[in-house]
Structure 1
Amino acid sequence: MADDTERDATELERGNESEPVEVADLADVEADLESLEFPATGTEVVDALGDREIESVEGTYAVEELIPKVDRERFDSPGAVRVQIHRPTVAAAMKKVVEANETLPNAEFRWSQRKAFEKTFEALKAIDADDDDEGIQVVSDWIVEQITEKEKLPGSRGVRRRAAKFCRSNGYQVRNDEWLGI
């Protein structure tokens, strides 16, 4: 997991992010994170920093809106938390999915599947930049419905299909060589 976190941090440094938060806010949050012992669970992070607010180009978010308050969610370092909150729209959607998945008996959310969900939300963010992230909301709601109704986390391919369906039905072109072009 540390390699994935380091890779995510490198991508952020290269500017591959569509909705960065203010650097000063991240520095303050990271300073507060230093009081935690790592690895830390999502519950521990939210308990310590839940009401702390960060600013992004999308608006103001409390940390508790971005980090799932579950014990299975683990962060290896303050930098891993920073990677998560650096993409607030995607983080909020993933929080909803992770917390819904936690209601399932024997809930499992493989790292590769999680990364595919995040990549789908990022693709929707890039396509749906002017529509209040409606696509992200629609797809995250659909995932939660699948968890609730079928008592099963949908596969990453199904999530991509649902995202592509949303895009096409709303006039967004999705090419076959793109992530959502399934």
Structure 2
Amino acid sequence: MADNKSGRDQQADDAERRQRERDLASELERHDEPKPPVETTELSDLEAELESLEFPATGTEVVDAVGDREVRAPDATYAVEELVPDTDGETFDSPGAVRVRIERPTVAAAMKRVVEASETLPNVNFRWSQREAYEKTFRELREIDADDDDEGIQAITDWIVEQIRTKEKLPGSRGVRRQAAKFCRSNGYQVRNDEWLGI
């Protein structure tokens, strides 16, 4: 493509189109998932409280504004500060983006630990696709391990944080999936080869 205004506009349009396609694919994928554990009314109230913030907002701004606000899930009650990374490196485009992050509290808490641990790395680029893969792995573990106090999510989160500390880099998404599959199989959970964790 030519390096002129028309070429740059075309590149920007293509990038925007690809992002919309990824967002749509992600949304369609989520329709197959079970309903999130946090009630819609609970999240609607939180979204209304977030309207006072100017978006995009950082994780730190969200925590400062509503960090002590509690969100009830069937198995526990969580403060927002337990679910949203307290960092300027994490940004949310809207109150709805915060809502989507915390509607699955165990996954949100795991991602908070991973994001905050990744902040200790110099020049780390925690790409959107890598975050999505981590989150999907945690969601799959939640479904497999739903009756077991989320032991799988805890174990894989601990493993990722340990990898960040010892190897000073984020493990690849395939490595995370492979570790999750190992955990599942060693704990008697079936993982088929055609599933996300069946790597």
TM-score, normalised by the number of residues in structure 2: 0.85
1:130/1:64 CA distance change after superposition, 3 Å: same
CA RMSD of aligned residues (A): 1.9
1:141 aligns with 2:167: no
> Which segments of structure 1 move beyond 3 Å, counting only runs of 4 or more?
1-12
Deviation digits for residues 108-147 of structure 1, max 9, x if unmatched?
1000000000000011001001110000000000000000
Pairwise CA distance, 1:9: 6.2
1:71 aligns with 2:92: no
* Distance in structure 1 (CA, Å) of the matches to 2:105 and 2:32: 15
Q: How does 1:116-135 map to 2 (within 5 A)?
A: 116-135=133-152
Q: Which residue of 1 aligns with 2:58?
A: 41
Q: Which runs of 5+ in 1 are unaligned?
A: none
Deviation digits for residues 49-93 of structure 1, max 9, x if unmatched?
100001112211100011001111110011000100111110000
TM-score, normalised by the number of residues in structure 1: 0.93
* Distance in structure 2 (CA, Å) of the matches to 1:141 and 1:80: 25
Tell me the SS of whatever aligns to 2:78: strand
Pairwise CA distance, 1:24: 2.1
Is the CA contact 1:22–1:54 (under 8 Å) kept in the aligned structure 2? no
1:56/1:49 CA distance change after superposition, 3 Å: same
Q: How does 1:40-119 map to 2 (within 5 A)?
A: 40-119=57-136
- The alignment of Structure 1 onto Structure 2 pairs a total of residues equal to 181
1:32 aligns with 2:39: no
Structure index of larger Rg: 2
Q: Which residue of 2 aligns with 1:177?
A: 194
* Distance in structure 1 (CA, Å) of the matches to 2:175 and 2:194: 17
* Distance in structure 1 (CA, Å) of the matches to 2:65 and 2:146: 32
1:80/1:10 CA distance change after superposition, 3 Å: farther
1:160/1:10 CA distance change after superposition, 3 Å: closer
* Distance in structure 1 (CA, Å) of the matches to 2:178 and 2:41: 38
* Distance in structure 1 (CA, Å) of the matches to 2:197 and 2:33: 18
Pairwise CA distance, 1:35: 0.3
User: Taking every aligned residue pair, what percent have the same amino acid on both sides?
Assistant: 71
1:10/1:24 CA distance change after superposition, 3 Å: farther
Q: Which runs of 5+ in 2 are unaligned?
A: 1-15
Pairwise CA distance, 1:107: 2.0
